[in-house]
Amino acid sequence: MLDTSPAEVAGPPTTSLPPQVGALRDCVRTFAQERLRPEVQRLDRADAADFDWDLVAEGHRLGLTRLVISRAHGGLGHGELGVAVALEELAAVDAGFALVFGATMLGQAPLLLSGDPALQARFLPLFSGDEPVLACNAITEELAGCDLLIPENAQYALDVMRARRDGDHYLLDGAKKFITNGRVATYATVFANIEGNPGASALTCFVVPLDSPGVELGAVADKMGYRTCLGTEMTFRGVRVPAENVIGGEGGGVVINVQQMNMARAAVAAISTGVARGALDLARQWCGERIQGGVPLYRHQFTARKLAEMSTKVDAARLLYLRAAHLADTEIPAPAYEPAVAKLFADRIAVEVAEEAMSLMGARGYVRDWGMEKYLREALGARIYEGTPEVLALAITESMYATDDDF
Amino acid sequence: MPAYTSREQAVSVFSQLFEIMLEDDAFRAIVRDEALSVRFVHTEPDFELYVDAEGVRVDGPAAPTTLAIKMSCDTADALWNGRLLMPIAVATGRIRIKGSVARVIEFVPLLRPAFDRYPALAAAAGVPTSA
């Protein structure tokens, strides 16, 4: 069990972390290396719909399902910084396992952002029981992904899930796609457009228990990576949701979505950093053991240059996500620029480092038993969720041209 | 038309609002026990309120506070009257907060009674209800 005293918010960490965050990192690192690593090959080769509740339960007992929940609601009271360093440790071993918990936190985020004590009291304590409880954040649809994330695009979104007021309830109709944890979550924060408004211009966030009548959980996507977590289709047919389950009021969905994405991007950047670090660790080990020309590979100047570049990229990615997480912990609304920069860079270097690491291992890098090619498959995944490079570029340039009043 | 026509009017209403909040034993106990101090930076008209367990001070000490919350007086009026939802205000940048987000998450629900108190205070000060 982790120490639950609050993490101190100091300046952005560079070479050291606040003590509570450092303790969390050490605890999660031990779990990831000793419990998760031996299971990685099995998890990666399992059927798409398989889910290892036993390992998730172990993560739950560490507190990974309630990192960001306040102590008043039974959580650990960590901020984005704690979340990010924990997810880097998990992703250095298995990015899909990291995303099980990252997606749960994303399902909790609208409730945390709401400031609504009644909603928080109903849903947040669920994560403090003996059995693991997961959540999910249901945004993406067949025809709408980025359009639900970019406010200017919202009116053009096609065929968005509908919400219709019916007395003191809403009726939800529509379908979601690629929803991480959709199959295994207890509740979802679901985004639907109020009927009669174009596109997603009245996008609204609802908390929906997934045992509600009319919720149907569909196929699990057979992904090339992130196989430990389940991306699921979800269909809602006339699902009745009480009006008090609306977060942020009618039409508040796009801004909640933007805000939670700005919070989440530091964490996803940390996952990509972890993937890059995992690949680098394997390459470093290999290049230290493999003898060619009478010396270890790393003694060859060309290989040394590659390893040095890879290590520099991982360090830079980590510093960028630490800065972004620190700002997300100390400013509301969370800034758009720093998390987007961190994610854009980390997602890119994860692919570069994993590809280079594979190359350094030669044929072994291409063989599944050695575990390297999995890092390349997973590096490609983070470029899609929580903002593609194109969406991130828009967020970054918007910030570059924005004016600020130095508050 | 702005909700507040003078600095004095705005200072009076928002000072009273938090003085009333601090008269609540439970609210004051939490503020004291958690060592919370909040600087409300209001603009248009411009003034600052410093709120801690000791009371409410206008343009209070420059010492660092646990939280700093900045919004225009029009935004504050819409917020406390219930016309503007906190998540929307925050997400659109109409309210900006600096300090530990974990502390904000604990603090914001404590402000609920202010939503009940504000409309009468504002009306008594002559603030137009439809501003």
* Alpha carbon A379 to its chain's center: 13
Scanning the structure block, which residue is given the tokens 């599944």? Answer: A368
CA–CA gap between residue A243 and residue B11 (Å, rounded): 36
- Average confidence (pLDDT) over A69-89: 95
Q: Is any Cβ of chain A less than 8 angstroms from the Cβ of B83?
A: no
pLDDT value, residue A45: 96
Residue B131 has pLDDT above 60, yes or no: no
Closest CA to A187 of A134, A265, A121, A114: A134
* Nearest alpha carbon to residue B44 among B80, B6, B96, B98: B6
Q: Are A271 and A350 in contact (CB under 8 A)?
A: no
Question: What torsion do the CA atoms of B57, B63, B67, B68 make, to the nearest 10 degrees?
Answer: 70
Mutate to test the interface with B, among A332, A404, A407 (most CBs of B within 10 A): A332
Residues paired with A11 in a beta bridge? none
User: How far is the C-alpha of A181 from the C-alpha of A360, rounded, in Å?
Assistant: 35
Distance from the Cα of B127 to chain A's closest Cα (Å) equals 25
CB contact (8 A) between residue B87 and residue A120: no
Is it the case that residue B109 has pLDDT exceeding 80?
A: no
Confidence of residue B102 (pLDDT cuts 50, 70, 90): confident
pLDDT at B130: 59
d(CA A191, CA A179): 12
Q: Tell which residue, A252, A156, A166, has the closest CA to residue A204.
A: A252
Closest-CA distance of chain B to residue A84, Å: 15
Q: Are A200 and A219 a contacting pair, CB within 8 Å?
A: no
Give the closest-approach CA distance of B112 to chain A in angstroms.
9
* Count of alpha carbons within 13 angstroms of residue A364, beta-carbon side: 12
Domain ranges of chain B: 7-124
CB within 8 Å of chain B, chain A residues 76-95 = 77-80
The pTM for the full model equals 0.87
**Homologous superfamily of the A19-128 domain (CATH):** Acyl-CoA dehydrogenase/oxidase, N-terminal domain (1.10.540.10)
Tens digit of each residue's pLDDT (9 = 90 or more) over A116-149: 889 999 999 999 999 999 999 999 999 888 787 7
Span A57-77, pLDDT tens digits: 999 999 999 999 999 899 999
**Closest by Cβ to B86, choosing from A115, A328, A330:** A115
Q: What is the pLDDT of residue A219?
A: 94
pLDDT at A21 over 80: yes
Residues A235-239 have a mean pLDDT of 98
- State the smallest CA–CA distance between residue A131 and chain B in angstroms: 25
Query: Of chain A residues 382-401, which have a CB less than 8 A from chain B?
Result: none
Answer whether B100 sits within 8 Å of A328, measured CB to CB.
no
Class of domain B7-124: alpha beta
Predicted local distance difference test score (pLDDT) of residue A55: 98
Residue A407 has pLDDT above 80, yes or no: no
CATH number of A254-399: 1.20.140.10
Give the one of A117, A247, A332 whose C-beta lies nearest to B101's C-beta. Answer: A332
Are the folds of A19-128 and A254-399 the same? no
Asked if the C-beta of B109 comes within 8 angstroms of chain A's C-beta atoms, the answer is: yes
User: Residue B18: which of B1, B3, B47, B44 has the closest Cα?
Assistant: B47
pLDDT > 90 fraction of chain A, expressed in percent and rounded: 78
CA angle B88, B89, B93 (to 5 degrees): 115
Query: Cβ A330–B99 below 8 Å, yes or no?
Result: yes
Which carries the bigger pLDDT value, residue B96 or residue A52? A52
Give the pLDDT mean for A366-374.
95
Interface test with A, best of B41, B85, B95 (most A CBs within 10 A): B85
Q: Judge: B91–A112 Cβ closer than 8 Å, yes or no.
A: no
Question: Which structure tokens are listed for B114?
Answer: 């202010």
Q: In sequence order, which residues have a C-beta less than 8 Å from that of residue A229 and are 6 or more positions away?
A: A96, A97, A99, A100, A103, A180, A181
List strand residue ranges (DSSP E) for B44-94, in order.
47-52, 55-58, 67-72
CB contact at 8 A, A268 and A386 = yes
Average pLDDT, chain B: 88
Q: B112–A112: do the CB atoms touch at under 8 Å?
A: no
pLDDT at A404: 64
Give tens-digit pLDDT for B9-29.
Answer: 999 999 999 999 999 888 888
The answer, yes or no, to whether residue A378 has pLDDT greater than 90, is: yes
Q: What angle do CA A35, A40, A41 make, to 5 degrees?
A: 140
- A280: closest CA among A185, A355, A230? A355
Q: Tell me the range of A186-190, A329-333, B1-5 where mean pLDDT is highest.
A: A186-190
Q: What is the pLDDT of residue A406?
A: 63
Prediction ipTM score: 0.71
Q: Does A255 touch chain B (CB under 8 A)?
A: yes
Q: How far apart are the C-alpha atoms of A291 and A279, rounded to whole Å?
A: 20
For A135-253, CATH gives: 2.40.110.10
pLDDT class of A23 with cuts at 50, 70, 90: very high
Mean pLDDT of chain A: 92
Q: Write phi, then psi, for A183 (nearest 5 degrees).
A: -75, -25
Are the C-beta atoms of A225 and A96 separated by less than 8 Å? yes
Quick: pLDDT tens for A287-321: 999 999 999 999 999 999 999 999 999 999 999 99
Residues in chain A, total: 407
Nearby residues of B111 by Cβ (< 8 Å), 6 or more positions away: B21
Mean pLDDT in residue range A103-110: 96
CA-nearest residue to A258 within chain B is: B91
